Structure 1
Amino acid sequence: MLLATASVAGLTACAGKGKQEHLVYEERPVELLYNTGMEQLDQKDWSDAVLYFQEVQRQHPYSEWSRRAIVMTIYADYQGDKYDDASAAADQFIKLYPGSDLTPYAYYMKAICQFEQIMDVGRDQGFTTNAEALLTDIIRRYPGTEYARDAQVKLDMVHDQLAGKEMDIGRWYLNDNQPLAAIGRFKGVVENYQTTSHTPEALYRLVEANEMLGLTEEAKRDGAVLGYNYPGDPWYARAYKLLTSKGQRPEVAPDPKGKKGPDKPDTKHRKGWFSHKKPNVS
């Protein structure tokens, strides 16, 4: 009796907006526990839903109900912005059910949990690099799937973010009169993130930095690459103006109707295609 009382007291939870709801955990049909958790999901009571799904796992470990409950725990923790808990549940599922048809979902949610925590370029990019590795892993593991296609979209955003960070550092070096250090950053963008929206500016900054160092031929070369690939981009118009002011005559004149650099990825739909939908575990 003492043990039962302690168990009930320890698992009492507060749910809803100011509403006290005591979740008394006792042996009860697994269908009832699981369905109650699903009802909590429908009501967007994410924390309470997790408690019920965890109780399913505790009372019926390694069962089909437990498998479903772990997946729903991933979803509920993610929706409740508990990204570390969602990732831990995803790791648990991958370990227990590596061959399940829902394992790709677990891998995907791990990546999305990192992706959702990406900071602006002025902050540490640890989440960005983690997301890059996990999204790349999904594309490698599940090529041709919807998970891989959405991961590629997110990976493009991640690369744009990483390129933006390099550009931010490079501009700082340039403004601090350290053109050689800046060149290293801008070259990294051109070589490693050439399909991102930052490439035209990176090429222009290379022209600018090389001119500061008196490296005329290098500046002319980078300007030619910019003009050949993006003749209609405003950054090439600036490079052309800079080069001609230095007495050089680039072969390609700016063309307003020519090709511009790639657009910045649309971040209005950052949420994963599958992360906001309740997973189908039937």
Structure 2
Amino acid sequence: MRFTKFFFIVSFCLLTTACSLFGPEIEKPDIPENTLYTQSIDALKEENYQLAVEKLELLEARYPFGQYSQQAQLELIFAYYKNSEAEAAIVSAERFIRLNPVHENVDYAYYLKGLAAFEQTSGFLDKYLPIDINQRDPGAAIESFDSFATLVGRYPNSQYAQDANKRMLFLKNRLATHEVQVAEYYMRRGAFVAAANRGRYVVENFQETLATPRALEIMFQAYSQLKMDDLATDAKLVLSENYPNYSIKRYNKSTVNLLSTATFGLLGSNDSEPPSWTPAIPKQTSADTSEENSSSDSQEKTWLNKLSLGIFD
């Protein structure tokens, strides 16, 4: 009994002494809001975007309703974009637009959202490999175009409207080219109704783009195969009136063999025309161009060249 009491007293004394030695845990004081904001701006000026993201995220977490909250949200969108975090930039921009629809700088949020989506339209390897970016999923291009279109439509006097218009023109040509390539795919597979619909979509929604004459040509070819002579004549008439120098090619049905299917079209393709379109050229230069094309086509590519997508000879 005495031993038990003695053990309890000793244990209590040790615990009390330990508490007095180490003392209570000292909490780190919060960094003032203006200090955090200043640090984040300094990081942006130094192009240290990772540090800027960390500071701005901390500022938003600790002072969600502070005096710098809305400005910090805009700065965070920019920091995400410059730090190659496109998805985070898009989500943050959408959140800012939803919470601050009448903010004086909401046009900047639309612009940054469009830029972030614009960056997603091309990949890192596109600079080094012969990849046709027009064959990519157009989802990011559509999202970017919609953001820029909203910016230009709602805020035509915005300082970002001019650059947004230029990017929209590029995106329109890219989206139109993508639709034409899909239409060409349908033509090669004999799906003439789908090809005609794709061509009509380009003519109706992407007028004055470089892909428009090829879209009209596809409409003419598809309607001719479907024996819809009136529609084929209309498409040919519109093409000849608006693009008088465009030479309509004769449609040749292609066949798909096993080698072409196994190599995703790299080898064994019997397509008479490539899956891309060519812009209209003057009639006086078409003969010279055709001679150059025939001479270049006569040089057969090696298997290594085909398998490496033209990287190696």
TM-score, normalised with respect to structure 2: 0.62
Asked if the contact 1:163/1:193 (under 8 Å) is kept, the reply is yes
Q: Which digits, 9 at most, give the CA deviation of each residue in 1:52-77, with x for residues without a partner? A: 12223334332332232222111111
TM-score, normalised with respect to structure 1: 0.68
Asked if the contact 1:107/1:138 (under 8 Å) is kept, the reply is yes
Structure 1 residues 101 and 201: CA distance shift in structure 2, 3 A: same
What's the offset of the Cα at 1:166? 1.6
Asked if the contact 1:164/1:198 (under 8 Å) is kept, the reply is yes
Structure 2 match to 1:100: 103
Point out where structure 2 has 5 or more consecutive residues left out of the alignment.
1-23, 123-132, 252-280, 285-313
Structure 2 match to 1:189: 202
What's the offset of the Cα at 1:215? 4.2
What's the offset of the Cα at 1:137? 1.9
**Would you say how many aligned residue pairs link Structure 1 and Structure 2?**
222
**Which one of 116, 124, 127 corresponds to residue 137 of structure 2?**
124
Structure 2 match to 1:43: 46
Structure 1 match to 2:275: none
Match runs of 1:165-204 below 5 Å = 165-204=178-217
Structure 2 match to 1:13: none
Q: Which digits, 9 at most, give the CA deviation of each residue in 1:46-97, with x for residues without a partner? A: 1211111222333433233223222211111100111222223323433444
Report the AA paired with residue 77 of structure 2: I
Report the AA paired with residue 126 of structure 1: G
- 1:134 and 1:62 map into 2 onto residues whose CA distance is 27
Structure 1 residues 61 and 187: CA distance shift in structure 2, 3 A: closer
Report the AA paired with residue 139 of structure 1: V
Asked if the contact 1:231/1:256 (under 8 Å) is kept, the reply is no
Deviates more, 1:132-141 or 1:67-76: 132-141
Q: Is 1:52 equivalent to 2:55 in the alignment?
A: yes
Q: Which digits, 9 at most, give the CA deviation of each residue in 1:202-230, with x for residues without a partner? A: 11222222333444444333222111111
Aligned-pair identity in percent equals: 28
RMSD: 2.7
Structure 2 match to 1:28: 31
Match runs of 1:197-276 below 5 Å = 197-232=210-245, 236-238=246-248, 242=250, 256=283
1:121 aligned counterpart, secondary structure: helix
- 2:25 and 2:173 map into 1 onto residues whose CA distance is 58
Deviates more, 1:181-190 or 1:148-157: 148-157
Q: Is 1:147 equivalent to 2:160 in the alignment?
A: yes
What's the offset of the Cα at 1:171? 0.5
What's the offset of the Cα at 1:167? 1.0
Structure 1 match to 2:84: 81
1:70 aligned counterpart, secondary structure: helix
Match runs of 1:59-74 below 5 Å = 59-74=62-77
What's the offset of the Cα at 1:27? 2.0
- 1:205 and 1:136 map into 2 onto residues whose CA distance is 28
Asked if the contact 2:49/2:80 (under 8 Å) is kept, the reply is yes
Point out where structure 1 has 5 or more consecutive residues left out of the alignment.
6-25, 244-253, 258-282
Deviates more, 1:41-50 or 1:87-96: 87-96
- 2:173 and 2:26 map into 1 onto residues whose CA distance is 55
Report the AA paired with residue 112 of structure 2: M
